[in-house]
Every structure is written in C-alpha cells, then in structure tokens.
Amino acid sequence: MSFEISARRRQEVVNALRGGTVPQAGLDVLAVGLGRFETAIDEELAMVASGGSMFKAVRGEYGSGKTFFSRWLVERARKAGFASAEVQISETETPLHKLETVYRRVTENLATAEFPPSAFREVIDGWFFALEQDVLASGTVDQNDEAALVTAVDELLERRLQSVSQTAPAFAAALRGYRAATISGETVLSDGLLSWLGGQPHVAASVRRAAGVRGELDHFGAFGFLQGLIAVLRDSGYAGLVLVLDEVETLQRVRGDVRDKALNALRQLVDEVHSGRFPGLYLLITGTPAFFEGTQGVQRLAPLAQRLSVDFTTDARFDNARAVQIRLPGFTQESLGELGRRVRDLYAVGASPRIAEVVDDDYIDDLARAVAGKLGGQVGVAPRLYLKKLVADVLDRVDQHPDFNPRRDYALTVEARELGEVERQAASGIDDIDLSDV
C-alpha cells in the first residue's frame, strides 16, 4: 500500500498513535470503514459551501471511532476550504447550556489549513486585508491616499456586516474599534477588543467603552457572535466553518436542571441551523447510543428527540448516510486487523526493511485478537490500546533493534493505569494473555 502523505504528517500520525490519541491530520490513510459516508459528507459540505447549513449527529459506542470520524470529516472539510473548531463539552470547562463559553472555545480552537489553533487573530486580520484588496481592486481609491482607503474599507465593512449588525451590533462595533486601534498603533486596545470579540471574559471596561460596546457576552449574544464569525470567514474566502461538539454524552452525568438547560441549548442550536441563520455552518455532535436513546439524554426533551429521530431497526448495511443522525458500525476483528496493517505500512515508509517481514499480516491479526482478549473480547473497545501497543511496543522495537522478534521477545501486558474507564470495565476479571507463543 502506498501513502500520499508527507514525512511530517506521517510522523505526526505515528506519534499520536504511540501516545494513545487520535491524530489531528493524515486520517484518510487510516479511515477503515468510512467509505460509506464519503459521498454524503462531500455533498453536505458542498451544500454548506454554497450558503446552506447542516446539522449532523454521530452515534457510536466507546471505541467505535467517533473522535476519529469527526477529525476525518474536519480534515476533509479543510481540503475543501473550510475553517474548523473542535470543542469538548464538559460540565466544568465547557457547559453546553452556556453558549457564550462554547463560542469562546470555538475562537480558541479555530483552525484553518494554513493556521493552527488559535487562528482567530489571523482570520480577523486576513479579513481586513481582503477588504483593502477589494477596495483597491475596484479602482475607486488611490492606494497612496491612506485616509480615503481607510474610509472606503470602513464603508465596505459596514455593507458586508449589514446582516450581522441587525442581530449582533456589538460584534460589528468591536470590529470597527479593533481596526481603528490597529491602524493607530494602540496595541493594548486592539488586543483587548480582539479578546472581547473572541468571547473572553473580564475585558477592561475602558477597552469596551472605546469601541462603544458594553458588558460581557451572554448566552443569546453568542448566537450573533457565531453568525458574525462565520460571515467574516466566508467573506475571507473560506467555504464556511465546521464546528464539532464532542463528548456531548457527558450531559447525562450532570445535575438534572443543568442537563435540561443544556439539552434545550442544543435544541436551540439545531433550530437555528435549520432556520438558515448560520449560512456556511456545518455543526457536528458526537455521542453514545445511550445519550440518544436513554432517559437521561436526548429523550428527556421531546422536541429535541423528534428532531434527531432516525430508524436504526433495519440492518446497518442499509443505513442512510444522509440522515440527521448516523451510526458508526464499530470495529470487527477483521477491520481491526485491516487498521493495524495500514498503520504498519504507514510506519514502514522510511523505517527498517524488517518491519514488513517480522510484523507480517498474521502477527497483526494475532495481536489484534490478543488485545481484544485483554478487554474481555470486546473488539469495539480495543482500537486505541491496540494501535498504541502496535506502534510503541512492537514497531518501534523492530525498527530500533535488529534482533528483536515480537513473537519471541514480546509478551503483551496491559496495566490498569494505561486504560480509560470503559477499557478498565471491559478488562475487569480477565486473565493475562501471553502473546509470546502466538
């Protein structure tokens, strides 16, 4: 198998797997079983890029690859010209019922193909540069007439943000103030206004007064600010924004009144997306089946349950990839082995020629079965630990030590400290498995 991926990206993928985490990029080479979604996802992204909006929910058990799927989609979207932001929902750090906090995390995690998080300043500055270029391209202003250029850009800014100003006038006002402070070299003021635009709390009152804005961003104001951010992105040449809200199932573990507020906030978001308020937004949430079907999740709020309802009683082979909610099939022993072979082949590029010979297909499959056995035979829970063991315990050693043979010199061990909560539950009561004689 050949890989169209740079050496740097390849190393980033391997490093992430070695640490037991999902890579941020290069995921197309590891996308086992996602081909069924490609056509629908590409169609949806094209629709959003043309000015539409989309809400999508992804369900899957632990280990089924929800985070992998979301980052695979994000990587696909960036290649199509989208900006992206991945936000982890949590009770303490990012409660879903406080959309002002969610918006702040969006700006903190904003990324593009050119800029890593946080790309918020680069996006805003790039937008002002694009406005200047548009003014100059019109031929109505002499590029040497600085005052006239500033005035013309301000007028164009007003026209471009007209729709946003109707619902979020403070966003447009802060943009004007930021531009004026930047032109005049007032760094403290421009930095403060950029922080306020990004939803950061506790911005000095003097900074806000300078731009004619008041107070802190609240739950409802966050809708307008998100709308403004997307408008700036699209006007800067981006196709739109892909926003991932990951680990939404954590809502099931919060206090009842907080859970109800969060579910209602999610319902509001879904309705706003469907109403067309956010042209250029692709909103993706991930969660477990229990979140979507259980009494402590989506089903607790009937209007939200109705909006996300999908019939999953038919054979998974015939699932509708265009549905508002899709399910990930999870790993089988065969697909886990295929994933392992892809990782091995990726690792082998530029590594010891012994890799392909010593870590052959049979060993890859044997290791997959052994790791799943360590986890009570639950293959769906195994991918993270399996890839970590494959890279760190096997491939690295074969690459570094000419006489290392994993069948002879390696016995699989799994310690509780390297397992997540669900992995520990799966591993409880399971005897050690010795891989030395596999």
Q: What is the pLDDT of residues 278-287, one digit of tens each?
A: 999 999 999 9
Same domain, yes or no: 243 and 274: yes
Mean predicted confidence (pLDDT) in 92-97: 92
CA distance linking residue 356 with residue 348, whole number of Å? 7
Same domain, yes or no: 342 and 316: no
- Classify the C-alpha dihedral 272-66-219-251 as positive or negative: positive
Distance of CA 112 to the CA centre of its chain: 12
7 within some domain: no
Q: What is the pLDDT of residues 319-342, one digit of tens each?
A: 999 999 999 988 889 999 999 999
Asked if residue 383 lies in contact with residue 331, where contact means CB atoms within 8 angstroms, the answer is yes
CA distance linking residue 299 with residue 321, whole number of Å? 22
87 within some domain: yes
Asked if residue 296 lies in contact with residue 336, where contact means CB atoms within 8 angstroms, the answer is no
Helices (H), 198-332: 205-211, 219-235, 256-275, 289-293, 302-308
Look up the domain containing 92 and give its range.
Answer: 33-112+238-327
Q: Of 327, 345, 373, which residue sits at a domain end? A: 327
* 3-state secondary structure (DSSP) of residue 244: strand
Asked if residue 85 lies in contact with residue 243, where contact means CB atoms within 8 angstroms, the answer is yes
User: 86 pairs with which residues across the strands?
Assistant: 244
Number of H helices, E strands in the chain: 21, 5
Mean predicted confidence (pLDDT) in 311-315: 92
**For residue 309, what are its two tokens?**
């309802």
CA distance linking residue 125 with residue 232, whole number of Å? 10
Q: Which residues contact 51 (CB under 8 A, 6 or more apart)?
A: 279, 280
Mean predicted confidence (pLDDT) in 297-315: 94
pLDDT of 434 higher than 80: no
323 within some domain: yes
Q: How does residue 429 score in pLDDT terms, banded at 50, 70 and 90?
A: low
Same domain, yes or no: 136 and 285: no
435 within some domain: no
CA distance linking residue 68 with residue 25, whole number of Å? 10
Same domain, yes or no: 250 and 187: no
Mean predicted confidence (pLDDT) in 289-305: 94
| CATH number where 314 lies | 3.40.50.300
DSSP state of 431: P
Q: How many domains does the chain have?
A: 3
267 within some domain: yes
Q: How does residue 51 score in pLDDT terms, banded at 50, 70 and 90?
A: very high
Look at residue 61 in the predicted model and tell me its pLDDT: 84
* 3-state secondary structure (DSSP) of residue 150: helix
Same domain, yes or no: 210 and 258: no
Q: What is the pLDDT of residues 357-366, one digit of tens each?
A: 999 999 999 9
Same domain, yes or no: 104 and 242: yes
pTM of the model: 0.87
Q: How does residue 435 score in pLDDT terms, banded at 50, 70 and 90?
A: very low
Q: Of 197, 222, 247, which residue sits at a domain end? A: 222
Q: How does residue 73 score in pLDDT terms, banded at 50, 70 and 90?
A: very high
27 within some domain: no
**Beta strand residue intervals within 82-222, DSSP E:** 83-88
Q: What is the pLDDT of residues 163-199, one digit of tens each?
A: 778 778 888 889 989 998 999 999 999 999 999 999 9
Residue (of 83, 62, 53, 109) closest to 324 by Cα position? 53
**For residue 260, what are its two tokens?**
């109800």
Strand (E) or helix (H) holding 242: strand 241-246
11 within some domain: no
Q: Of 327, 354, 378, which residue sits at a domain end? A: 327
Residue (of 22, 13, 41) closest to 320 by Cα position? 41
